Structure 1
Amino acid sequence: MSTNTDQLVHWLLGSVDLETTVFHVGQYCGRWRASTAGRAVGSFHLVLHGGCFLHIEGQEPVALQPRDGVFLLRDIPHFLSPERELGAAPPQVTMQPLAPDADGSTGMACGFFHFRGGLSGLIVDSFPDYLILRADDPALKAASTLFDLILAEPAGDPEQPSPLVARLAEVLFFYVIRHVAREDAIASGLLAIARRAEFKPLLESLMAAPGEPWSTDDMARMTHMSRASFYKHFVGASGQPPAQFLLSLRMKIAAQRLHAGESVERAAEHVGYRSHAAFSRAFKKVIGEQPGAYRRGLRERDSPRSLN
């Protein structure tokens, strides 16, 4: 991977803002089904011991082994089961405390991701509906240490897991999305553009100087293409017209600068806006809220909570 693309991956990961909660940590025995669908948020399932299958409608079951995991970036219908073939729904089974030595059991840590702010959602939209972490993937070897730490937490009530498990699952998630961003084909968006050799210099220039008055003709000249050819190939790679892509990129950069504590006026100027009203309209269109409200929300969330 080129240095420019790797820098872009780091930039994107640094812009993802999420809150992780753990639903339960324990084990199932016998016939069972488990799902985190229907909550309108992303979710995850980590296999701590044993094995199971991920079932998603219209797709082949995905086998999951110890220390594998699945991260569902969107709320899609799914369930996990020890059975590959669908049969009659099993009786409702209560999750038990972890006991890895129990024969035929499957230990799980399951929970939810809430992506905070429009910027995180825009970035996550570049990724597939779900990502699989494989224990035997050499590129994710370091993730095994995180599973060790999860398993080292005291086993107790499955419905009241250690809060550290949520933080460890969060780190696992970032390992996985970094790996996918570097290695796998992303259908559209920033990463898809970054992988196209003819667009890399243009993307580097757009990110370095987002406030310049870029036109489609300017972008075409930088890629040494005719305007028509550039437009066709750019839309094919990114899934959106150049002007729309530029608007989205500018607002993502502005949101990141607001997140770093910069004023609305300075963030707007950096991405080429002299009019506060025009910047506010563009920011709300892309991020989903006014820049002032976005910045206040960041301050309120990051401020120390008073102790009662």
Structure 2
Amino acid sequence: MTGMTPACSDKLAQWLLNSIELDAAALHVGRYCGPWRASTAGKALASFHLVLAGDCYLHIAGEPPVRLRARDGVFLTRDVAHFLSPSPDPAALTERQTMHTLSVPAAPQDAGSAGLACGLFRFSGALGPLVIGSFPDVLVCRSDEPSLAHTAALFDLILAEAGDPERPSPLIARLVELLFFYLIRHAARQETLGAGMLALAQRSEFTILLDRMLANPGADWSIARMAQAAHMSRAAFCKHFTEAGGIPPAQFLLRLRMRLATQRLGAGDSVEQAAGHVGYQSYAAFTRAFKRVVGEQPGAYRKHGRDVRA
């Protein structure tokens, strides 16, 4: 696998920011003391834990404990059985504790106290599953890594917004979303991703193809034309594209076009204009494809976007 240059990965990350519709919700923000345990497992959603003060350990069955220090965060892109605790021993006696406000300092005897912001994520968008599928189940954000050093400011802002542990400020969720997007840019520069959009973009033979498809999504992107852009035979192209992306090229093209169509509809284009932009001359065919991928009719999607803008 050939890694991308920083300029290419940043370009990809910028596009990915517009491809993922992300909604975060902070559930609890405060300080745990004593033999505490915290978890967001079992809710069938992605989740996060940010360490605002102190340190703790992340425990996942079958994996060694991961130490998290202040200004570290963990993002679980799927519902993974896990818990955080003050001990590296997953069998150490712990129990669910009540969170205290972070404004109350830890007592000297509370050596295992930690300030945490915990919550959930919901991903949507036509390409959301494909992008998120590139990530491992667990992403650890460490602000002492050079490419993530600037995220320390986000932790400070989240800490400044901490108040009632059970009723977090809505600004915290928005700051967490920004933090996750910085992780996307960081991940785009790595070479350890699985199948998905990011993995495709890390393959040098596919970067030119992706650029051309994004620039002209309405072109006649037959399998033969895509293979030609990637300088491969049809058979080799289909095999390697599916291995890297996790889905066949025709299905990827459909998702890509519908994602770009949602952007056009959200910007105010008519259904006909959005359909033409992504290569559909038939209103009925576009409507069927849009409903299959996005989950609602393009007219309803456009109306909802117009209502939100109003």
TM-score (norm 2): 0.89
Residues 157 and 88 of structure 1, relative CA distance in 2, 3 Å threshold: same
Residues 290 and 122 of structure 1, relative CA distance in 2, 3 Å threshold: farther
Structure 1 residue 246 corresponds to structure 2 residue 253: yes
Match of 2:84, SS? strand
Deviation digits for residues 219-276 of structure 1 (CA, Å, limit 9, x no counterpart): 2222222222222222222122221221122112212222222222111111111111
Structure 1 residue 41 corresponds to structure 2 residue 37: no
Kindly provide the amino acid, as one letter, of the partner of residue 66 in structure 1: A
8 Å CA contact 2:19, 2:125 repeated in 1: no
Which residue of structure 1 aligns with residue 154 of structure 2?
146
Residues 116 and 228 of structure 1, relative CA distance in 2, 3 Å threshold: closer
Structure 1 residue 71 corresponds to structure 2 residue 75: yes
Kindly provide the amino acid, as one letter, of the partner of residue 130 in structure 1: V
Structure 1 residue 202 corresponds to structure 2 residue 209: yes
8 Å CA contact 1:119, 1:255 repeated in 2: no
Determine the C-alpha separation between the residues in 2 that align with 1:119 and 1:219: 19
Match of 1:161, SS? coil
Determine the C-alpha separation between the residues in 1 that align with 2:240 and 2:127: 25
8 Å CA contact 1:66, 1:135 repeated in 2: no
1:56 to 53, 60, 63: 60
8 Å CA contact 2:39, 2:84 repeated in 1: yes
8 Å CA contact 1:54, 1:79 repeated in 2: yes
8 Å CA contact 2:52, 2:117 repeated in 1: yes
How many equivalent pairs are there? 302
Percentage identity across aligned positions?
58
Kindly provide the amino acid, as one letter, of the partner of residue 80 in structure 2: I
CA RMSD of aligned residues (A): 2.1
1:26 to 27, 30, 38: 30
Regions of 4+ moved over 6 Å: none
Deviation digits for residues 85-109 of structure 1 (CA, Å, limit 9, x no counterpart): 2226523311112145544111111
Match of 1:44, SS? strand
Match of 2:74, SS? strand
Which residue of structure 2 aligns with residue 87 of structure 1?
91
Deviation digits for residues 94-134 of structure 1 (CA, Å, limit 9, x no counterpart): 11121455441111111222334444444323322232110
User: Unaligned 5+ residue runs, structure 1?
Assistant: none
User: Unaligned 5+ residue runs, structure 2?
Assistant: none
Mapping of residues 70-219 of structure 1, within 5 Å: 70-87=74-91, 90-98=94-102, 99-103=104-108, 104=111, 105-153=113-161, 156-219=163-226
